[in-house]
């Protein structure tokens, strides 16, 4: 038992991919809603078997309420996420996130069922709806999430190993690398981090010490103004000097880069991984 608890804690703290783009999210919740409607119609739990007429429409209504609940929760979550400081999204955070979706779905289905069958709302029955929703969905949800985590983690660990084998050492800057950004030679830049309307540039000074310089700019404007193809986007919040990569490690969110003479690790989100595989 004592060995199981640290293992569970380690899995809960593992990085987990955040929610997908809106098109993918719509597709996924549409499929889940269809599954709910079909599940209720085929197995007819929670008293659905006693409905005399309109059983298919009733089950479809529960599916639509599932879609509405997931959509409402994502809108609220997206707004709250925009207010918080960026932090690593873990498997534990994902379980809490999915539990929030299920709780919102429970509320929408509860209101639908009470108004459809009874014409009133009696909140003392709401815990029963929560219980039913979690019993149907919670354990399959966690199992599928865990499988996705393991699959994505293995995938990017393999990609990181491939990159390290193909590019075992950071490339030395060539004598022609004379372009500068805010007075900093681009070959000395290690990373550029977005800070809303500002950027933080991590670079090596003449003594080969890491320094940071803050300037008013955006990552896009920097990419538009420099010609050095070694400076590439690797994340929504980072640019990195591709020639300074000393090591790559993988997790379910993508890659983590260790840079030469730099203690900071820089994330590579999944959509930018091909940039480093082609390097």
Measure the CA–CA gap between 76 and 147, rounded to whole angstroms. Answer: 27
Q: Please give the pLDDT value at position 26.
A: 87
Pair of tokens at residue 114: 């009470």
Q: Please give the pLDDT value at position 56.
A: 93
Q: Please give the pLDDT value at position 118.
A: 85
DSSP string, 162-206: HHHHH--SPPPPPTT---EETTEEGGGEEEEEEETTEEEEEEE-T
Measure the CA–CA gap between 52 and 36, rounded to whole angstroms. Answer: 20
Q: Please give the pLDDT value at position 228.
A: 83
Residue pair 254/220 in contact by the 8 Å Cβ criterion: no
Q: Please give the pLDDT value at position 73.
A: 93
Tell whether the torsion through CA atoms of 221, 227, 228 and 233 is positive or negative. Answer: positive
Q: Please give the pLDDT value at position 173.
A: 54
In the chain, which residues have pLDDT < 50? 174-175
Q: Please give the pLDDT value at position 182.
A: 93
| pTM of the model as a whole | 0.77
Strand partners, 269: 254
Q: Please give the pLDDT value at position 52.
A: 82
> Domains, the chain, ranges and CATH?
4-164 (no CATH), 180-277 (2.40.50.1020)
């Amino acid at each position: 038992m004592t060995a199981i608890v640290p293992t569970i804690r380690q899995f809960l703290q593992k990085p987990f991919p955040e929610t997908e783009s809106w098109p993918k999210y719509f597709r996924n919740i549409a499929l889940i809603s269809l599954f709910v409607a079909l599940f209720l119609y085929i197995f007819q739990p929670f008293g659905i078997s006693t409905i005399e007429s309109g059983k298919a429409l009733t089950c479809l209504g529960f599916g639509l309420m599932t879609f509405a609940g997931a959509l409402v929760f994502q809108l609220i979550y997206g707004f709250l996420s925009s207010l918080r400081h960026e932090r690593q999204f873990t498997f534990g955070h994902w379980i809490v996130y999915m539990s929030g979706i299920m709780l919102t779905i429970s509320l929408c289905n509860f209101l639908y069922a009470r108004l459809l069958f009874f014409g009133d709302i009696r909140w003392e029955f709401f815990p029963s709806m929560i219980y039913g929703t979690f019993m149907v969905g919670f354990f399959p949800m966690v199992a599928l999430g865990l499988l996705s985590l393991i699959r994505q983690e293995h995938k990017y660990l393999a990609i990181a190993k491939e990159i390290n084998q193909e590019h075992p050492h950071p490339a030395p800057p060539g004598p022609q690398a004379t372009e500068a950004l805010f007075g900093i030679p681009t070959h000395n830049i290690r990373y550029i981090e977005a800070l809303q309307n500002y950027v933080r540039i991590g670079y090596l000074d003449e003594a080969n010490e890491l320094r940071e310089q803050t300037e008013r700019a955006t990552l896009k404007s920097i990419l538009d103004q420099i010609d050095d193809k070694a400076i590439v986007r690797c994340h929504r919040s980072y640019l990195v000097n591709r020639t300074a990569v000393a090591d790559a490690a993988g997790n379910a969110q993508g890659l983590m880069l260790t840079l030469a003479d730099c203690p900071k690790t820089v994330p590579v989100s999944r959509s930018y991984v091909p940039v480093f595989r082609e390097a």
